[in-house]
Amino acid sequence: MSDKTTSAPVAVAAGPDPRRWRALAILCAAYFMIIIDSQIVVLALPTIDADLGLGAGGAQWVMSSYLLAFGSLLLLGGRTADLFGGRRMFLIGTALFLVASMGCGLATSSGVLIVARVIQGVAAAVMAPTAMAVLMTTFEQGPERNRAVGIWSGIGAFGATAALLVGGSITDGLGWQWIFFINVPIALLVLVSGPRLLRETPYGQGAWTLDPIGAVTITGALVLLVFAVVTGPDAGWASARTVALLLAALAALALFVAVERKVAAPLVPPRIFRNGTLVAGNLMTLLVCIALYGAAYNMSVYAQQVLGYSPTRFGLSTAVYAALSIIGSNVAGALIAKVGYARVGVVGAGLLTVGAFLLSRVSADGNYWTDLFPGLVVIGSGIGTTVVAGAVAALSNVNGQEAGLASGINNSVFQIGAALGIAISTTVALMRHNPAAEPSTNLIEGVRSAFLAATIAAFACLLVATTLTLRRRR
């Protein structure tokens, strides 16, 4: 079957869209809601457990179910923009996210909550890449688009840190249900304003070119991979279950590659990976997310279990970290137009490496100002900068017809990096456990090692950014 367009794409007006910055605000509000929901439940889990009786396994799945659905369906979600229209699918995803958020807040049992979280993840997997496809259509290629992508990516970095800032306060002040109910007014605002402010994206390949075999195999591969990563620390990385899941994911991925080489209209055209900046940008995104989420998780462990902070106090103590991530992302968006994403990536990854290393020096008798604050300042400055540089590299040389797919790939990498960051940090911390040592000694040694693992990931990101800079000079 031919892969030619079978229905005319929606017409896009020539010239800059006068509503483009308001449209960006709507898209960023939705993206912030998506990202913050991946972590906001962390500090609320003890309270949810007390109300619903989650148990150890249930508590893990309140977080993991969202991550699993979100991370594994992003490629398929991104492709829907190219097939059916980015604005249309974004609004459908937002409506589903609203309903799922209401379901989470009204849940009366752990089973209902976990199912609602899965639906949230499915909706997020449609929303995130289709929103990026709309952004790419709204802003013409060049400095303005780079600035818009920088703001968008900065919102993602801020969302990953803001979850720690507000999650504890909302839970303590209003109740855990409100970490989900706060999504309702945001989603309603998007649904009311979106049809008026957002452009439709080019589309028109028709549902019959959806490549069902490719969709099933890549979704299966990502589900197996994310599931293995999420459960690996508890089951053991060398356990039969984890090894079997990783091998099954590899087999499904190999089958997907074979299928995509044969079908007329592949879900992920192999040619897209010949784009060197797309590959390098996604590799930077993967590594910065491993460092970011691994460090953030262990900040919480150190602050609450060593310094004795409450969830609310810990959240407030990360304000400087969250604020600097926003400042860094906005500065990066402006600098990329002048010096390029590769050089900005080098600076950001360098800051991230130094900040993670400073955190790896925390001590058992330390305090916030000497042990956490310096690392928070430096790592916060590097997060937004590096995330923006990676996203711009991954999306800058992609044509409009494949914007949804490229965004889906970048968002998939972001979520897999987040899962890997938490899993790697947990595994590294457990490896430092000494049965003969005091629990407090094991805890501080584990936290230090986890921060060091984040440092290594950040340094690897620095190497990729440096290589990209040298390549662009040549």
Residue predicted with more confidence, 43 or 152: 152
Q: Check pLDDT > 80 for residue 160.
A: no
pTM: 0.79
**What integer pLDDT is reported at residue 60 of this predicted model?**
67
Q: Check pLDDT > 90 for residue 435.
A: no
* Residue 151: burial class (beta carbons within 10 Å; 0-12, 13-18, 19+): buried
**What integer pLDDT is reported at residue 374 of this predicted model?**
94
As a whole number of angstroms, the distance between CA 257 and CA 251 comes to 10
**What integer pLDDT is reported at residue 401 of this predicted model?**
66
As a whole number of angstroms, the distance between CA 385 and CA 409 comes to 20
Average pLDDT over residues 273-279: 86
Contacts of 262 (CB under 8 A, 6+ apart): none
**What integer pLDDT is reported at residue 421 of this predicted model?**
85
Q: Check pLDDT > 80 for residue 157.
A: no
Q: Quote the percentage of the chain above a pLDDT of 90.
A: 34
Q: Which two tokens stand for residue 313?
A: 């106090």
Q: Does 1.20.1250.20 match the CATH number of domain 20-210+267-473? A: yes
Sequence-distant contacts of 249-253: CB under 8 A, at least 24 apart: 249/221, 249/222, 249/224, 249/225, 250/221, 252/217, 252/218, 252/220, 252/221, 252/224, 253/217, 253/218, 253/221
**What integer pLDDT is reported at residue 362 of this predicted model?**
94
Average pLDDT over residues 364-379: 92
3-state secondary structure 180-237: HHCHHHHHHHHHHHHHHHCCCCCCCCCHHHCCHHHHHHHHHHHHHHHHHHHHHHHHCC
Q: Check pLDDT > 50 for residue 125.
A: yes
Q: Quote the percentage of the chain above a pLDDT of 70.
A: 92
- Find the helix packing angle between 276-305 and 403-431, rounded to 10°: 40
Residue 176: its H or E element: none
Return the SS3 of 116.
helix
**What integer pLDDT is reported at residue 418 of this predicted model?**
80
Q: Which two tokens stand for residue 292?
A: 């970011």
Q: What is the mean pLDDT of the chain?
A: 84
**What integer pLDDT is reported at residue 6 of this predicted model?**
39
**What integer pLDDT is reported at residue 15 of this predicted model?**
62
